[in-house]
Structure 1
Amino acid sequence: MSVLGDDRIHLAWTGMETDLMFNRGIALPGFAAHPLLDTEEGRALLAAYFSEQIAVAAEHGLGVVLEAPTWVANRDRGAMIGADPQTLGRRNREAIELMARVRDAQGYAPVVLSANIGPRADAYTPTERMTADEAQAYHDEQVGWLAGTEVDIISGYTITYPEEAIGIVRAARAHGLPVVIAFTVETDGRLPVGTPLGRAIEAVDGATDCHAIHYMINCAHPDHFALVLAEAADEDWMTRLRGIVANASRCSHAELDEADELDDGDPEELAQQLTDLGRAYPRIAVLGGCCGTDMRHMRTLARELNEQF
């Protein structure tokens, strides 16, 4: 099962929050972009981001996955900034509606509308782990808010341990929605809880009858996981890894948490590294930027992909 439409590489960008905070000087309490949906100015800003992503993809003949600003729009993370479930439900739905309007106005295909779902707890230092059943019950609420929209796929991003991923996949399956899981890894290529990436993917597939359409890595620099991928090139789980949405910075998660300034890395170098990974692993279908990246990085990546694929 695939929602990507064809075999071309799709661009994905999850660096909106760091761009808003560090480059545009916009405060995002709780690292949440979804409150922008409550104002005309905020909606216009989000729409401009989506329009630019589509334009970059169209210029270079690539697909694009638009990620909703809903990564922390779940009950616990919303409560931290005073958003009740009714408000969160509305914002989740309005995020997809906004992306759909931009997609339709641009008239370019393929454009995939992704509902970005984040972890219940901190994405870098998970202090409390849920069971798979607890995770399903928790994330079912947000998936339910999204189920009646034009969303193409549920995407669990920056997931730090297998049980939460299992819960997200089961919640998506219960609502009849395709789902992708993007694990984050530390500088050693393992999940923050110490689980090897391949073992995490196998655990989720084993507990969900392989319902996830594929897996990705996000919120890590290619240097953090390139060796892991090379050493596992012939293992079965590698056929399930189809996306990389990388950080601009080589810093560890702990270092990023303490940083007062944005480390935006080298757009040219990052684009080359991601393109090299795409060539090395032909099943890769989604490439893009996470923390510290902006549209400079995405334009550079799109140009590099256009030239080399």
Structure 2
Amino acid sequence: MLQRSPRLPHQTDEIFLTDGGSETWLMYKRGFELPNFSAFHLLNDKRATVALREYYAAFAHVAVELGTPFIFDSLTYRASRDWGALLGYSAEGLAEMNHKCLELYRECAAAAGLATEDTVLSGCIGPKGDAYLRNLGLSAEGAESYHSEQIETFKTAGADVVTALTLSTTEEAIGIARASAKAGLPSIIAFTIEKDRKLRSGETLEQAIQSVDAATSKAPAYYMINCSHPVDFGPELTDEPWVNRIRGLRANASSLDHGTLCKLGHLEEGNPDELAGQYVDIRATHPKMNVFGGCCGTDFVHVEKIGRALLAAT
């Protein structure tokens, strides 16, 4: 495999874009069923693979047009052992699918003309269990053991970073950060918070970030917030030093709570222009933030508006 050396977000102040709500786009915009919310599984279907190429190519073209680096992410969110087993994958078969996902990223980047130095391949990890349950039985040691399998696969597949999305407990975050450090890959930890402005496990963002940093000697390259909305997490972003560890946002399109969003049965896209304005307002007071994408209900339309607004305000 050719050696790559893209710029990474924690190494520069440049704005980086990443993708949006891949699962909600696939389900509601293209009509695909996602068993166990597993988008990677669609690579076994030719028609779905075409849609996935369309999805990532659209983001890559936005990045090329705006002149920003792009972080390819999210497709391997449910491509870990327990979720793969529910779909009948062996360890070897699941590893092959993780490799296919990263190869798809490479192909989409090349087709869009995205420069190598602007192409960041992220091995995306989701929680071992349901992201919206407390999952308090998983220890840091158990999380490290479980997630290390997928992280080692990412390493052999040529990932540049590991991104853990929608984490709701510090123990799982600690385990992922430790496993990534042992594999020699930078880790990005993305927490999701509820309407009470806390993680599902009860910690505030401040408590969660400080706990993970203390337990891992600040192993994560940086933190993100995802699958929440600026009206919920915005007030938590004070001017205290711990907030500087947060460098990225992947907000939901809607401010509805997670339980309501899951029961709607349709796509809630929100107002892309309003969301872009909220991102601009947050970055104005927190200029270290430089990674921007979306989560549930968002797609390349939202991310393009976000990117344009941020660049215009810079």
TM-score above 0.5, yes or no: yes
Distance 1:31 1:49 in 2: 17
State yes or no: 1:227 paired with 2:235: yes
Q: Which whole-Å deviations, capped at 9, do the CAs of 1:268-306 have from their partners, x for residues lacking one?
A: 111110121112200001111100112221222122123
Deviates more, 1:111-120 or 1:294-303: 294-303
Contact 1:97–1:150 (CA under 8 A) maintained in structure 2: no
Of 108, 120, 143, the match for 1:112: 120
Structure 1 unaligned residues grouped into runs of 5+: none
Contact 1:10–1:64 (CA under 8 A) maintained in structure 2: yes
Matched residue SS, 1:148? helix
State yes or no: 1:287 paired with 2:292: yes
State yes or no: 1:260 paired with 2:268: no
Matched residue SS, 1:100? helix
Instruction: Give the aligned partner of residue 88 of structure 2.
Output: 82
Alignment of 1:1-309 (within 5 A): 3-4=8-9, 6-109=12-115, 110-229=118-237, 232-233=238-239, 235-309=240-314
Distance 1:150 1:283 in 2: 27
Contact 2:20–2:299 (CA under 8 A) maintained in structure 1: no
Matched residue SS, 2:198? coil
Matched residue SS, 2:267? coil
Instruction: Give the aligned partner of residue 4 of structure 2.
Output: none
Deviates more, 1:178-187 or 1:54-63: 54-63
Distance 1:303 1:273 in 2: 13
Contact 1:245–1:290 (CA under 8 A) maintained in structure 2: yes
How many aligned positions are there?
305
TM-score by length of structure 1 reads 0.94
Distance 2:199 2:211 in 1: 13
Letter in 2 for 1:72: R
Contact 1:183–1:218 (CA under 8 A) maintained in structure 2: yes
Deviates more, 1:238-247 or 1:83-92: 83-92
Contact 2:19–2:56 (CA under 8 A) maintained in structure 1: no
Distance 2:155 2:174 in 1: 18
Q: Which whole-Å deviations, capped at 9, do the CAs of 1:58-78 have from their partners, x for residues lacking one?
A: 212222111041001111122
Letter in 1 for 2:189: I
Matched residue SS, 2:157? coil
Contact 2:190–2:224 (CA under 8 A) maintained in structure 1: yes
Contact 1:221–1:249 (CA under 8 A) maintained in structure 2: yes
Q: Which whole-Å deviations, capped at 9, do the CAs of 1:121-170 have from their partners, x for residues lacking one?
A: 11112344311111100101111111112211000100010000000011
Shift in Å, 1:44 = 2.8
Distance 2:112 2:272 in 1: 26
TM-score by length of structure 2 reads 0.93
Distance 1:156 1:6 in 2: 21
Letter in 1 for 2:225: I
Distance 1:22 1:251 in 2: 17
Residue identity (%): 39
